[in-house]
Structure 1
Amino acid sequence: MTANLNASAGEPLVSAHVATDELVLAGRPLRADVGPGPRFAEDVWHMAAAYHLPNHHIGQSTIVFTTIEDPLWRLTAKEYAYSRLTKITEGCKRLPSVVTVCREFRELRRLFGFLADRCPRLRLRDLTDDTVLDAYLHHRVDAGNFKPENHVQERGRVKWFLTLLFRTRESLTFDRLVRLPWDGRTSQDVAGRRPSENTTQRIPPQVLAPYLRGALFYVRVASKDVLAALAEQEHIRLPIGKPTNSTQARLEAFIEQRRGEGRGMPARPADINLPRDHCTDSDGGVNRKLVAQLARISYASVDRPANVELLRQAAAELGLEEGGMDTEISIDEETGRPWRPRFHSKSLLNEVRTLLAACYVVTVYLSGMRDSEAQSLKPGCHFTEPSADGVIERHKVRGTVFKGRQPTGDEDSWVVIEPVAEAVTVLESLTDCDQLFYRHGFRHSKDGIASTINDLLNVFADRLAEARPHDPIPLVDGKKWRFTTRQFRRTVAWHIGHQPFGVVAGKIQYKHVKVAMFEGYAGPRELHQTGEKSQVACSQRGPDRLRDYYDLAA
């Protein structure tokens, strides 16, 4: 009670268990290019230094304690987080990741908010029965925004968090949960039995087929044009050097070249952002910046009134060409026409991001990789090895497995099929840093795509609707399908698991320790594991099953 009065009087609260200058990440492996991390007294803990997954977003490993107004509960939250970061809690096998601790902090903050709103002046130590916790569980899950099929899982997560809060009570100074929630009953008793099958949605075949066909088209056809356009862009952005003739002469030569090729002048994109003095029709709608690059003229000189008039006259005579760059566009064999208009700088950047998404789809779907594993791939990760019997030359990629491994992950390899090798080759041509998947077009940034990949996957679907209208992605229940990274692994796992010897092959391909783990992905199936097969033979069936499902796109 004294501690509570001190808090209300505004006196500073000091933990009886942790010194104010303690490093909260002490003992954890940290990235080499960062400092030791935050100290206990700080109100914001940036802990990305201790999280090594490449698909990590900085916000996932940051705790802002000032979001808890009550100073007593703010200190309680710090002590809880510190305890979880530095001590193995009863019932756990290892220290949790910093992202897990951040997630638990958010749950603790929600609990404090619930108590403040519904039960003013009630502290954790006052919860002598399960009445309030039952109400909180209903408030968090049953009355929340979770899908009905996820209620049991979410109730189980909340129940486990409250158990952890009880088990860390000896590390909390002023307020603690003194009663074991629900008398220690299992999560199954409190939350209900979880479904044995993974609840992540499988992508419907009618949706997946055109989506995968589009991804393969980008990897095998569109990539050649995108890479050629990038090379052209790099060339036309080189310094002009000392001119040998006048600006007007070079501009006239450029126009004459266009006339001879039967091409129009590069059109100004409708959605491009231009300075105010460019937003006129005095140039006939010509993309002056691109003309300056292609004709090797300075931007300033092309804006002179005489040259602007020359462009207007050329546009009136030759017309306008969408895009305007010189890179030719490949023919889509399914339509007999170029798959898109010519490029300009903005459309090229958009197509680079689209190609990145296509490579991601091909890589994760036809390998069974997790998102973190795919985003760990680096240039040079692809190699080939003969199969165990020496008959087949197998494609493999080398990456990092994080789940269930040491915090920095363990290097491992996946047997893949040829389209994955092709996607990796394309990515290696796109990248200029030490990772294959990174955010293209963001100034001063070589950050990984991280959680933005989910949005990128759905932007890719929208782009396919424009570029490949002859192969549309159908609606599901009248709505666009919302793609997420987990769906690809789940979908192909279901297919592999329903083939003879598929569960064993999938367990090996998916880097699961136990067959039962893979069965959760594969879902209910007929038992095909008759007879005996060596792990080598079954491991070869993993990529063979991926090849079978790749045929869906044929």
Structure 2
Amino acid sequence: MSTIAHPGVPLSGTVPSPFAGADICGLADFVLPIGAARSVFEDDVWVFTQVIGIPAYVSKCARRLDFSGIINERWKTVAKEYIGAQMAPGHEAVRTLPYASRTVRVVNGLYAELLELVRWLNWLTAQGVTELGEVTEHHCKSFAQYRATHRPDGKKTHDRPSIRRAVELTITGLARYSELFTTDRYHPGLRPFAGQATSKPSGNANKTPPVADPTFQPLLGAALYLVQTLAPHLLRELDAKRRYVAHRASLPAARIDRGELEAVIRRHVEERRPFDRNVTWAKTRKWISKDDPLGKVNLYALAAEAGRWEISPSILESVRDVLEKAVDAVGIEEPFCRGADMVERADGQGEAPWSKPLSERGLRALTGVVKTASHVVIVALSGMRQSELREMNVGCRVPPIEAGPGLKRYKLASRVIKGKPLGGVPDEWVVIWEAYQAAEVAEQLLGPGAEIGDPLLTSPLDNDRFTLFRQWVNGPAGQALGLAPIPERQLTTRMLRRTLALEIAYHPGGLLAAKVQLKHLSVVTTEGYAARPGGAQAKFLAEVNAEEAERNKDLMLAEYRRYQQGEMPSGPGARDLISFFASVDGKLARATAEDPTVVGSDQEVRALLTEVAGGLHLGVANYCWFIDPSKALCLKLAGTPNATKPLAGMCDSARCPQATHHPCHRPVWAESVRTKQVFIGSIGRDHKTEKARLQADLDRDVQVLASIDAAAA
């Protein structure tokens, strides 16, 4: 490294690279099959397609690092040394660099950075820069601005902060590894972007946004409908298609005679059965012109019905008149999904055929849509990451475990990739039945040729698949089945994961897509954590708990502001809650008296409310302030006074001293009153005891409803 006589003078390149002749896979501790070709440092393309254990979500193109696009030959070596150093942070020439990363970068991350590196170096070449020592801060900022506002093809677009940050990280990366390079390097005095790239946005702006409810509800509703209602019919149709293909393959290479062909045509007419449509006439019957009306008939299907391979031109001409009349009588129709069974519409408005007649291409498209639906259900109801979803294989469904009479625990096997060594580590997710069923459908859609260990996903669950799914749901097929349209919004698996975390945290007693109970999702997530405390589900539960903490602070602040406006809570625990709010008022008043600049901002109030917010639990019809377990009525009834959480299933908020009712709970109590009034009115005179018991419950509900209204007024 001491070969430079003067800082900033380009290197001669006579000093060999520390990675010269190195086996790249050996450098990164990648394992290859015996006899597999290995890339060396001097190759312009490093190939990792045969690396054992490389994550399934890494695309094929990302498994090839291509340096050949760099125009300046000396900068190719710079790029190779930079990428190689990140693949081998423990190399003797790398570990002594003061600013080098100490963690191994994943291949797809290096692939994305190499793309930006190639663009950066070639942009410098286009600007007339021939030595990295000539690069200035102006060059760095200009290119970062250009990439943030222009696509790779040069077309101008809106400002993209994520692209700007990626470019800045790449440019500063060359500076951090500058001492390693043997052919060229930045001037030692250059510190691009003051030594660091643009920092990530702080606060909530850095969080993945959830899927908005107007999008999430129809998305998951449609996915569940396709998996539970359409999938069984589609699987039967796919099985029938496979049997037909096998039958065609077994036919003798013989042509049908006239008598057999006329018999087949006659059966179609007698049974009022349309002929199969031919969509590949140019490839199958070149001796029939495109304008010939018989060119639309699948002649191979006609021959197959008689157990023959094909129809000769002479035989066809001899029955042309008969066939044309038959086509006019019964018509031509797509070959698949004919006479589709009726199914209940998703909106409950009667029944509809599960599919219209489809061509082979249409059947493949529908299969792809149902595959996407099954993958959406798994992600949306388990919280799996994309990487964990891609590691699921055929056979991932762990046999159900009997957890009690009529109760089963369902698990899906996968691998954790994030933060783990190459290849990941085995893991299992405890899931609800709907996600388990979706995995079963996904396996069945792969066909009988799929073997244990084959990938469950043959392509990533990306924007293209979300778009095709949305188009089908919003199109004629989805609307005919009563599916709610899905708005055109961005969708990613990360957004689905965060949405699930928020739904569990904020609506534990509600419904998800009107079918899946959130409390079940919360229970299985907790069970998954208990089963594998260090697994991926534990991290998801941590995200849920973090969202619950934020939720509690927000709810506490909202109730405190209502208290300040004179809207009081009701219920047995209302007095204690009001006293606590009064104490917060007192603390704020004292703080203001001591320092007039202190203002009761939301942030300051949230800090004062935190001690009680930690004990808040959401019930369906009340808030539970689980501050003192010894006072919890549910724990007394269950005989578990030392429990750390309330037993929501045994909650009697009308009597528990730690329960409060608020205006947001009024609709639940009002519906309970209405339902009980109707039910009591339907009870006969002979059931006096039952009627008296229900009347007591109704009186209690009416009293709670009145207290909510009185407190709010």
Q: How far off is 1:197 after superposition?
A: 4.8
User: Tell me, which stretches of 5 or more residues in structure 1 are unaligned?
Assistant: 4-11, 439-447, 542-554
Q: Which amino acid aligns with 1:169?
A: S
1:544 maps to what in 2? none
Q: How far off is 1:413 after superposition?
A: 0.9
* Secondary structure of the structure 2 residue equivalent to 1:356: helix
Is the 2:148–2:164 Cα contact (8 Å) retained in structure 1?
Answer: yes
1:317 maps to what in 2? 329
User: Deviations 1:281-329 (Å, cap 9, x if unpaired)?
Assistant: 3427323233334443313448732355543221122223x32347642
1:372 maps to what in 2? 387
* Secondary structure of the structure 2 residue equivalent to 1:102: helix
Q: Which residues in structure 2 correspond to 1:139-538 (within 5 Å)?
A: 139-141=146-148, 151=161, 153-177=162-186, 178-179=188-189, 181=191, 187=197, 190-191=198-199, 193-237=201-245, 238=247, 239-241=249-251, 247-269=257-279, 276-278=286-288, 279-283=290-294, 285-301=296-312, 304-320=316-332, 322-325=333-336, 328-334=339-345, 335-386=350-401, 392-431=407-446, 432-433=449-450, 434-438=453-457, 448-450=458-460, 453-464=462-473, 465-469=475-479, 471=482, 474=485, 476=487, 480-499=488-507, 508=529, 511=537, 513=539, 525-527=551-553, 529-530=614-615
Is the 2:57–2:386 Cα contact (8 Å) retained in structure 1?
Answer: yes
Q: Please give the TM-score of this superposition, normalised by the length of structure 2.
A: 0.62
Q: Which amino acid aligns with 2:178?
A: R
d(CA) in 1 for partners of 2:261, 2:163: 66
Q: How far off is 1:340 after superposition?
A: 1.8
Q: Please give the TM-score of this superposition, normalised by the length of structure 1.
A: 0.78
Cα 1:291–1:93 change in 2 (3 A) is farther
Is the 2:416–2:536 Cα contact (8 Å) retained in structure 1?
Answer: no
Cα 1:210–1:243 change in 2 (3 A) is same
Is the 2:86–2:101 Cα contact (8 Å) retained in structure 1?
Answer: no
Q: Which amino acid aligns with 1:466?
A: P
Cα 1:274–1:328 change in 2 (3 A) is same
Task: Work out which of the residue numbers 83, 86, 101 in structure 2 matches 1:81.
Answer: 83
Q: How far off is 1:363 after superposition?
A: 1.4
d(CA) in 1 for partners of 2:398, 2:25: 37
* Secondary structure of the structure 2 residue equivalent to 1:396: strand
Alignment of 1:138 with 2:139, yes or no, is no
Alignment of 1:54 with 2:73, yes or no, is no
1:98 maps to what in 2? 107
d(CA) in 2 for partners of 1:13, 1:84: 21
Q: Which amino acid aligns with 2:181?
A: L
d(CA) in 1 for partners of 2:16, 2:49: 27
2:675 maps to what in 1? none
Is the 2:19–2:81 Cα contact (8 Å) retained in structure 1?
Answer: no
Q: How far off is 1:405 after superposition?
A: 0.9
Q: How far off is 1:263 after superposition?
A: 2.4
Task: Work out which of the residue numbers 55, 65, 68 in structure 2 matches 1:66.
Answer: 68
Is the 1:87–1:95 Cα contact (8 Å) retained in structure 2?
Answer: yes
Identity %: 21
Is the 2:47–2:63 Cα contact (8 Å) retained in structure 1?
Answer: yes
Q: How far off is 1:30 after superposition?
A: 2.9
User: Deviations 1:373-426 (Å, cap 9, x if unpaired)?
Assistant: 112211221125558788841211001111111110111111111122222222
Q: Which amino acid aligns with 1:367?
A: S
1:108 maps to what in 2? 117
User: Deviations 1:94-144 (Å, cap 9, x if unpaired)?
Assistant: 2111222222222222221332334x23533344x6443333333333677
d(CA) in 2 for partners of 1:210, 1:494: 17
Q: How far off is 1:234 after superposition?
A: 1.9
* Secondary structure of the structure 2 residue equivalent to 1:299: coil
1:41 maps to what in 2? 42
Q: How far off is 1:241 after superposition?
A: 4.2
Moved more, 76-85 or 268-277: 268-277
Moved more, 193-202 or 40-49: 193-202
Q: How far off is 1:240 after superposition?
A: 4.1
Q: How many residue pairs get matched?
A: 510
1:547 maps to what in 2? none
Is the 1:250–1:297 Cα contact (8 Å) retained in structure 2?
Answer: no
Alignment of 1:22 with 2:22, yes or no, is yes
Q: Which amino acid aligns with 2:463?
A: N
d(CA) in 2 for partners of 1:481, 1:14: 55
Q: Which amino acid aligns with 1:493?
A: A
* Secondary structure of the structure 1 residue equivalent to 2:182: coil
Q: Which amino acid aligns with 1:75?
A: T
User: Deviations 1:343-393 (Å, cap 9, x if unpaired)?
Assistant: 442222222212211111111111111122112211221125558788841
User: Deviations 1:222-241 (Å, cap 9, x if unpaired)?
Assistant: 22222222222222222344
Cα 1:339–1:374 change in 2 (3 A) is same
Is the 1:197–1:521 Cα contact (8 Å) retained in structure 2?
Answer: no
2:653 maps to what in 1? none
* Secondary structure of the structure 1 residue equivalent to 2:144: helix
Q: Which amino acid aligns with 2:21?
A: D
User: Deviations 1:38-75 (Å, cap 9, x if unpaired)?
Assistant: 11121122223346121222112222222111111122
Q: How far off is 1:172 after superposition?
A: 0.8
Q: How far off is 1:462 after superposition?
A: 1.1
Larger radius of gyration, structure 1 or 2?
Answer: 2
Cα 1:211–1:288 change in 2 (3 A) is farther
Cα 1:245–1:121 change in 2 (3 A) is closer
User: Tell me, which stretches of 5 or more residues in structure 2 are unaligned?
Assistant: 5-11, 509-518, 530-534, 554-612, 616-625, 630-642, 649-713
